[in-house]
Amino acid sequence: MKIVESELFGYEEGSFIGALKGEKIGKIEAASGESLFLDEIGRMSIQDQI
């Protein structure tokens, strides 16, 4: 799992090495119907943008 994916979509404990204990909700879920601003998304790799 990439850092970008874990930040946007969250993760569960044990999802990858270094994951914090417990779950972490992602930015998309935290926005919960509100706006989510992604700054400089063009600087991300194409694979991360898809």
Q: For every one of its 50 residues, what pLDDT tens digit does the chain have, with 9 covering 90 and above?
A: 577 888 888 877 766 666 666 678 889 899 988 998 888 888 888 887 77
Per-residue pLDDT, 34: 92
Per-residue pLDDT, 16: 63
Q: Looking at the DSSP assignment, which residues form a beta bridge with residue 11?
A: 24
Per-residue pLDDT, 30: 92
Q: What Cα–Cα distance (Å) separates residue 29 from each residue in 12, 18, 41? A: 14, 21, 19
Model pTM above 0.85:
no
| Whole-number Å distance between alpha carbons of 9 and 26 | 4
The token duo for 20 is: 């914090």
Per-residue pLDDT, 12: 76
Per-residue pLDDT, 14: 65
